[in-house]
């Protein structure tokens, strides 16, 4: 028996339009990327910041920085200046007091090297600066220890701690036990603060013979 069937008509395709894929109708069309995919949740780029050096918190700290400036220009004169006990810092004047056992360094600061030291201080502070001496016993007694005195105290404490570690070191104790000796001397290698300049500062007096 013959049965007439009507075949389904092919969908009409408009010119220039591709046929629709049946699978595409199963999914909703995708929109624009949002959220983290679009970069909205990414952290902001760090902002470059410039860290400024901390300003001195007191006149004592200001004076310490000034002594370091003189040490950088002339280690020998900076060393002598560090032996002066800081009394006061006024616009244009730094007042110091020297202990009796620092007479040599006092003569260096207030002698022929005074001009060089004051020139470096003037450049450091950005204004004419002189060094003055307070010779009263009250000022010397009331002043805090000088930079050189503090450094000497720190060095002595460091050496004492090193001596204790050396004496208690197992290897050294074994050697002393076998040889029957004692530790008589420990040589300390101090860190170098800075290399002395090979070029003499302007107007610097000749080195002592």
The per-residue pLDDT for range 179-191, each reduced to its tens digit, is 777 776 677 666 6
pLDDT in tens, 47-84: 555 555 555 568 899 999 999 999 999 999 999 999 99
- Residue 96 resides in a domain: yes
The pLDDT of residue 15 is above 50: yes
- How many Cβ atoms sit within 10 Å of the Cβ of residue 116? 18
Average pLDDT, the chain: 76
- Whose tokens are 């002066």? That residue is 84
Residues 6+ apart with CB under 8 A from 124: 65, 66, 69, 70
29 part of a folded domain: no
Tell me the backbone φ, ψ of residue 133, rounded to 5 degrees: -115, 135
Listed in sequence order, the DSSP H helices in 25-169 are 59-73, 75-82, 103-109, 114-125, 137-142, 147-168
**Residue 17 is assigned to a structural domain of this protein:** no
Residue 177: inside a domain: no
What is the span of the domain harbouring residue 106? 59-146
pLDDT in tens, 127-181: 999 999 999 999 999 999 999 999 999 988 887 887 778 777 888 778 777 877 7
User: Does residue 198 surpass a pLDDT of 60?
Assistant: no
> Is residue 208 a part of any domain in this protein?
no
Q: Is residue 53 part of a domain?
A: no
CATH assignment at residue 77: 3.30.300.180
Q: Which residues contact 8 (CB under 8 A, 6 or more apart)?
A: none
- The reported pLDDT for the residue numbered 183 is 72
Q: 114 or 184: whose pLDDT is higher?
A: 114
Q: β-strand 93-97 against 130-133: which pairing, if any? A: parallel
d(CA 108, CA 76): 9
Whether residue 87 is contained in a domain is answered as yes
- The predicted pLDDT at position 164 comes to 79
Bigger pLDDT: 120 vs 179: 120
Contact call for residues 96 and 84 (beta carbons, < 8 A)? yes
Radius of gyration, CA atoms only, the chain: 40
CA quadruple 64, 66, 72, 74: dihedral, nearest 10? -110
Say what the pLDDT of residue 156 is.
Answer: 84
- Are 138 and 154 a contacting pair, CB within 8 Å? no
Q: Work out how many domains the chain is built from and give that number.
A: 1
- 126 in a domain, yes or no? yes
């Amino acid at each position: 028996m013959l049965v007439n069937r009507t075949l389904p008509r092919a969908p009409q395709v408009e010119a220039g339009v591709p046929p629709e894929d049946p699978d595409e109708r199963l999914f909703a069309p995708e929109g624009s990327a949002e959220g983290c995919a679009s970069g909205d949740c990414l952290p902001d780029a760090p902002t470059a910041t410039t860290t400024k050096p901390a300003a001195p918190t007191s006149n004592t700290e200001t004076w310490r920085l000034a002594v370091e400036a003189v040490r950088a220009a002339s280690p020998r004169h900076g060393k002598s200046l560090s032996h002066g006990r800081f009394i006061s810092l006024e616009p244009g004047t730094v007042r110091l007091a020297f202990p009796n056992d620092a007479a040599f360094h006092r003569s260096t600061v207030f002698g022929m090297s005074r001009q060089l030291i004051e020139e470096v201080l003037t450049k450091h502070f950005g204004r004419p600066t002189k060094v003055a001496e307070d010779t009263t016993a009250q000022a010397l007694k009331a002043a805090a220890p000088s930079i050189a005195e503090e450094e000497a105290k720190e060095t002595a404490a460091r050496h004492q701690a090193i001596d204790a570690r050396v004496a208690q070191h197992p290897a050294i104790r074994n050697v002393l036990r076998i040889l029957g000796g004692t530790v008589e001397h420990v040589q300390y290698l101090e860190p170098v603060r800075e290399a002395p300049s090979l070029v003499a500062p302007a107007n610097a007096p000749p080195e002592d013979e």
